[in-house]
Amino acid sequence: MKKIILVVFAVLLASLSLASCGMGYNFDGASTGGGGSFALRNSASESAPQEMLYSAINEDLSYLSIQPGSSGGSGGIPITAPVDDDGLSEKIIYTVSAFIETIDFDESVERVYALITYNRAFIETANIEGRNHAQRHYGWQTYRTASFTIRVPRDRLNDMTANLETIGNVTTHSSDAQNITAQFTDSQSRLTAMRVQEERLLDMLSKADNVTDMIALEERLAEVRYQIEALTSTLRNWQNRVDYSTLSLYIYEVEVFTEMTPPPVLTYWQQIGDGLDRNVRAVGRFFMNLFKWLIINLPVLVILAVIAIIITLIVRRQIKKSKKRYM
């Protein structure tokens, strides 16, 4: 009898593993249509309708305003980067990030591209993840997400961030300003000194009259030139980050916007009723998903049940034969 129980238990485990294998999925869709892969678009590969759209945006920024029924934000505090237009002599690196909810994901992504084009910015990195084939086929409740790292010209950062609420409901935003004027000036001074030293070494090398001095001068010249290249690269990178601020956007597709106003204070009995309501809905969703899982995997379960019955009959027959031998 124990052997029969073990066999049935093994068959049930096998059925569960086979059924769960059918629930795996892979990302393989198109870019904004709900897939996992995404190709960056640039001005050289835009289609004619998109070029017309962007030219219209350059002429009229009213396209970016929130329209009735669109995925616009909830009208919270305007987002403005801390760019000081008067302090252009200062070397300041600006970094802004924002988390945005949207009901119309495709439109929000198009608005991001429109803002990028209008403000002469460019995409440094981009990633869009969405529903795969299995999720669409079985109707699972899933949502798409997108993340962008955008480099924005310093003089356009305020305009760019002021229009983020046209993309969707901005739930979180932050900004940072790093003043690197001192480090930049110090590195420039060191670079100037190194170039003066390079000229002197070249002059001394041209006047050297023995091999030992020439080798020593060449070694020192190689070190100086290495430091010049390193300082030049550092200054170029700093200047690039100063000229083009970094804007990080994280867009999430949702069914309902998060309320930015404080939630109402519930009484004791209201809290109990709200908790019961959530639990009843959770139980209902569980049984709905369980029923759907059983229906989808019914053919596999039937085959495994037949196999289990056959194995059980064979085991019982073997037990009866063994009992007859000992009688």
86 — pLDDT class (breaks 50, 70, 90): very low
Identify the pLDDT of residue 260.
Answer: 61
CA distance 167 to 76: 13
CA distance 128 to 32: 7
Identify the pLDDT of residue 194.
Answer: 94
Interacting residues of 309 by C-beta distance below 8 A, sequence separation 6+: none
Quick: pLDDT tens for 110-139. 999 999 999 999 999 999 987 666 566 666
DSSP per residue over 110-168, as a string? HHHHHHHHHTT-EEEEEEEE---HHHHHHT-----EEEEEEEEEGGGHHHHHHTGGGTS
Identify the pLDDT of residue 327.
Answer: 62
Quick: pLDDT tens for 7-54. 444 544 555 454 444 443 333 333 333 333 333 333 333 333 444 444
Q: Are strands 122-129 and 169-179 parallel, antiparallel or unpaired?
A: unpaired
Identify the pLDDT of residue 246.
Answer: 95
Identify the pLDDT of residue 13.
Answer: 52
CA distance 250 to 243: 23
* Lowest-pLDDT choice from 172-176, 208-212, 251-255, 260-264: 260-264
CA distance 100 to 257: 10
Specify the 3-state DSSP secondary structure of 45.
Answer: coil
| Residue whose tokens read 């795969």 | 132
Distance of CA 285 to the CA centre of its chain: 29
pLDDT at residue 106 greater than cutoff 60: yes
Q: Percentage of the chain with pLDDT > 90?
A: 40
pTM over 0.85: no
